[in-house]
Structure 1
C-alpha cells in the first residue's frame, strides 16, 4: 500500500518526550460502537475519537510560538531532537472548526478540506487516556461507510495498526501527551513524516517536501504491522494485510526504513506493499463503483472476517474474508478473474499466486505472510482517516499503476481513473468539500455482526 503520504495541516505533532499544551481544551468527540457475542447479541459501547498528533498545533512550552511552520522546524526551539521535545508542547484541537471532524451517535464524518487543513486521521478511544484495542483473530469487524462523495485521488481509509494503547507513554514516560493527544502512530510504510518518535523529535535530518508546503521527511521512521480493512473512494476499493518482523511499534533510521518515504522501498522490517484484494485489479471491473454490484453511490455495510486454522482467537491466521451488505442483500467478495489466481479472499495460496502472476516481489511472504500478520492482529488500534497522495496521486488504488505501465499487464489496472487525475493540487482545489462517513461499527466472533448467507 502506497499510503500514508498524508497532507498534514501546517501545525504538526509530537510523540514521546512531548509536553501537553493547555491553550486549547482537548475534548474528544463521542462515538458509540457495538460489541457482539456469538449469539448475535450486540451491546453499545461508549467511546470517543482522538485526532492524530501530526495534525495538531505544536508550540513553545512557555508561550505560543510555533515549533513548526509550513514544512520547517524552528531552529531556536528545535536545534536537535531532544531539545525540541523539551521545548515544544502539543495542544488541543478544535475538531469541527479547524479539522472538519464531526460525530453523531455511532457516525463519524470527515471533511477533506477545512480552511487551511487538509485531511485527518483519528483513533477510537476506550477512555480519554487509552486507545481501544482489538484482537481480530477468529473475529469479524463490521461498519457502514458512505464513500459516494470521494472522487479519484482521495482515500477514505479504515484500518488497524499495532500502536501502543497508551500512545507510547508507558514505554517512554517523558511523553506527557499520550493517547489523549493522539500520539504513537506507526504503520507498515515506517513513515518518516512523523514529527516525534519514541520520545524525541524527528527534526534532525529533516528535509522539507518540494511539492507540499506542509510536509517533509525526517531521519527516523515509525514501523508496525498494519491491516487495511477498507481503502476506497467512489471508484475503487481494496483490503490489504501488511506484516512486519516485529509485532509492536519500532523505530527505524533513514532509508533503512524502506516504504514510501525511503529510496530503497524494501529495505525495512515491514511489507509496504502487502497482499491486496482490489476487485478491479483482480479482473472484476463491474463489482464496485457507481451503479456496480456494490454501488458506491449509496452507503454499504463492510464485513471483514479473520479466520484461524483451529477456529480459536489464538490460532494461526488462515483466511481474511470479505462480505458486503447493501439494500438487504449479502454480497460475497468478487472472485478473481485473473488467469492463474483463484479465490475471493486473502489466503497464502491467493497471495503467492497473485505475486507470481503480477510479477511483484513477494515481500509479503518474506516478512512472514499470513502467519506473521496473524501474530500482529492480537492488539490493534482502529484508525479512521481521509487523505490524498503526494507520492503517487492514489493511482495504486484507482488508476493504472505503476505510472506508465501497460494497461494489459496483469495487475496494472486498479480502477477507471485516468492517470494523474488524482493529483493533490487538483483534488484539493476542486473537492475540498468531499466527505466520508463511517458508522455503525460492530465487533465480535465470526457470524455475530451480520447475517451471513447459508
Structure 2
C-alpha cells in the first residue's frame, strides 16, 4: 500500500546502474515453482531469482579503480555530474546473495534475512528485493486473469514495523535493456510500482542524479527528480501481526514521471500521478475481525501457512475483466476462507467492485482507486503480464503503521472505521530501532504454484463448492 523502499546499506553502498561490472560474477540462485491445470496436476518450472539493482555495488566502469559512484546517500560529483554522464560512467556488479544480502534460495524456497553482516562489509545490509526469472536474462511474467496464485509463507519472525511483501508489477521482462541500459534483468534493473518511486538511482537507462536530495532520516537513500510508475498487485504485504492484499491500478508499462507530478509516497500531492497509491486494500483487522490473523489466531502466524489468491473475471475467462479478488488460507490441512468484513456498508470477504466503492465511503478515504480506472485498469495491466517481486523491508516514511498499528493516522481515534490496522503501538516500527533490535528477523516464501482456479491447493470438490457460502469457517482439506 505504501512504498517498498530500497534500503540497502553495504560496504560499497546501494545503487542502480546501467553498465556491467566484472569484479563479481553474477550467478542467479535457482528456485523452482509449479504450473497447475487441476488439483495434483502440476508441472515444475526451473526458475531463478535476481537481486534488485538498487542493492548492488555501483562503481567506476572505466578506470578500473572501482571508485564508488554512490556512497552513503550521495553521488560522486566527478563520476556523476549529470544523469547521462553517470549512466555512462557507472557499472553495476554481481552479488553475493547469501553472504552479503541474506537471500538464500533452496529448492522451491527463498529465505530473506532482514539484517546481514557480510564478511567483507563494515556496515550491514538491510532487507532485499528479488525478482523471479524464467532464464538468466528474462523476468518471469504472470498473466493472472481467471487464474490463481498460491505460495507458502513463514512470517513468524516478522515483528511490528517489518513487511514481507510478495507482489506483482508491470516491469519490462528484459529489465529495460537498451543502448543505455546494458545490465537489464540479469542485474535486476527496471523496477516500478504504484508509489512512482523516486529513490531509484537509475530509471530507463538514465541516472536520477539531477535534483537528488539525500534523505534526512536514512543514511543510505534519497529522492531524485524522476520516478517510475506502473500498476501493482500487492498479493501479500504482511508481518506476524497484520496482512493486507491490495490492487493498485496504473500504467501497464513503466511511466517515467517528474517531481511532485509523480504522486505517491515521495511527493507533496499523493494523488497527482498516473497510479493509485492507496489501492483497494483488504486488511482483516481493519475490516473489523481482530482475531482472524496473528499469533494463535484463526490464521496462526506462529506457523507456516499457505496463501491462495484467485483473480476472477466477469465472464470466467482469461480475456474477461477482473471483478473480484478472493483469498483463502490453508493451515494444518484446513482451508480457511478470508475473514468477513464487519464494517457497516462495506461487507464481504473479498476485494470486488462494490467493496472498493463502499469501503472508501465507509472509511472516508479518497477514492483514487476508481478515479484511476479501478478493475478495468487493473485488467489491462494483468493482461500484459506482471513480474513477481519478493521482498523484505522496513519503512522510513511511515514506520509501517499503515499496515499494523493501533491507529493510522496516529492522531486519529482508533474507534473510527478504517483507522485501526493491527495491535502494534503507534510508536513502533522505527527503522533506527528495529534495525538494531530485530537483526534476526526473516521471511520465507516457498512452494509457489500458479494455474487454473481451484488447481493449486488441497480440498475436495464438494468442500471447494462450500467455501463461498461458509466464509470465515474453516474447512478440513482432503
TM-score surpassing 0.5?
A: yes
Q: 1:418 to 1:358 in 2, by over 3 A?
A: same
Match of 1:205 in 2: 211
SS in 2 for 1:263: coil
8 Å CA contact retained: 1:6, 1:389: no
Query: Following the alignment from structure 2 to structure 1, what is the Cα–Cα distance between the partners of residues 240 and 325?
Result: 23
What is the Cα deviation at residue 40 of structure 1? 4.3
Match of 1:74 in 2: 76
1:206-234 deviations in Å (ceiling 9; x for gaps):
00000100000000000000000000000
8 Å CA contact retained: 2:6, 2:55: no
Match of 1:259 in 2: 264
Match of 2:397 in 1: 391
Query: Following the alignment from structure 1 to structure 2, what is the Cα–Cα distance between the partners of residues 340 and 6?
Result: 37
What stretches of structure 1 of length at least 5 have no aligned partner?
none
- Give the alignment partner of residue 143 of structure 2, picking from 135, 139, 142: 135
8 Å CA contact retained: 2:39, 2:456: no
Match of 2:125 in 1: 117
- Give the alignment partner of residue 337 of structure 1, picking from 320, 339, 342: 342
8 Å CA contact retained: 1:221, 1:254: yes
SS in 2 for 1:447: coil
Match of 1:108 in 2: 110
Note the aligned Cα RMSD (angstroms). 0.9
8 Å CA contact retained: 2:180, 2:206: no
8 Å CA contact retained: 2:39, 2:458: no
8 Å CA contact retained: 1:6, 1:388: no
Query: Following the alignment from structure 2 to structure 1, what is the Cα–Cα distance between the partners of residues 189 and 218?
Result: 23
- Say whether residues 1:83 and 2:85 are aligned partners: yes
Query: Following the alignment from structure 1 to structure 2, what is the Cα–Cα distance between the partners of residues 253 and 23?
Result: 34
Match of 2:121 in 1: none
Q: 1:416 to 1:6 in 2, by over 3 A?
A: farther
- Say whether residues 1:448 and 2:450 are aligned partners: no
TM-score (norm 1): 0.98
- Give the alignment partner of residue 276 of structure 2, picking from 265, 271, 278: 271
Query: Following the alignment from structure 1 to structure 2, what is the Cα–Cα distance between the partners of residues 371 and 423?
Result: 37
Match of 2:20 in 1: 20
8 Å CA contact retained: 2:133, 2:140: yes
What is the Cα deviation at residue 174 of structure 1? 2.5
Match of 1:96 in 2: 98
1:360-405 deviations in Å (ceiling 9; x for gaps):
0000000011111111112100000000000000000000111211
Query: Following the alignment from structure 1 to structure 2, what is the Cα–Cα distance between the partners of residues 38 and 350?
Result: 30
Match of 2:468 in 1: none
Query: Following the alignment from structure 1 to structure 2, what is the Cα–Cα distance between the partners of residues 6 and 128?
Result: 23
Question: Larger RCO: Structure 1 or Structure 2 (Cα < 8 Å, ≥ 6 residues apart)?
Answer: 1
Query: Following the alignment from structure 2 to structure 1, what is the Cα–Cα distance between the partners of residues 455 and 241?
Result: 29
Match of 2:9 in 1: 9
Q: 1:10-409 counterparts in 2 under 5 A?
A: 10=10, 11-14=13-16, 18-38=18-38, 40-62=40-62, 63=64, 64-115=66-117, 116-169=124-177, 172-244=178-250, 246-378=251-383, 379-399=385-405, 400-409=407-416
What is the Cα deviation at residue 407 of structure 1? 0.7
1:101-134 deviations in Å (ceiling 9; x for gaps):
1011001000001121101000000000000000
SS in 1 for 2:351: coil
What stretches of structure 2 of length at least 5 have no aligned partner?
118-123, 466-478
1:13-39 deviations in Å (ceiling 9; x for gaps):
335xx1111101100111000011146
What is the Cα deviation at residue 4 of structure 1? 1.6
What is the Cα deviation at residue 173 of structure 1? 2.9
1:178-205 deviations in Å (ceiling 9; x for gaps):
0000000000000000000011100110
Of the structure 1 ranges 39-48 and 324-333, higher mean CA displacement relative to structure 2 is found in 39-48
What is the Cα deviation at residue 433 of structure 1? 1.2
Query: Following the alignment from structure 2 to structure 1, what is the Cα–Cα distance between the partners of residues 434 and 3?
Result: 16
SS in 2 for 1:270: coil
- Give the alignment partner of residue 426 of structure 2, picking from 419, 425, 448: 419
SS in 2 for 1:45: strand
1:47-82 deviations in Å (ceiling 9; x for gaps):
110000000000000220000000000000000000
Query: Following the alignment from structure 2 to structure 1, what is the Cα–Cα distance between the partners of residues 207 and 269?
Result: 23
What is the Cα deviation at residue 420 of structure 1? 1.9
Query: Following the alignment from structure 2 to structure 1, what is the Cα–Cα distance between the partners of residues 261 and 311?
Result: 31
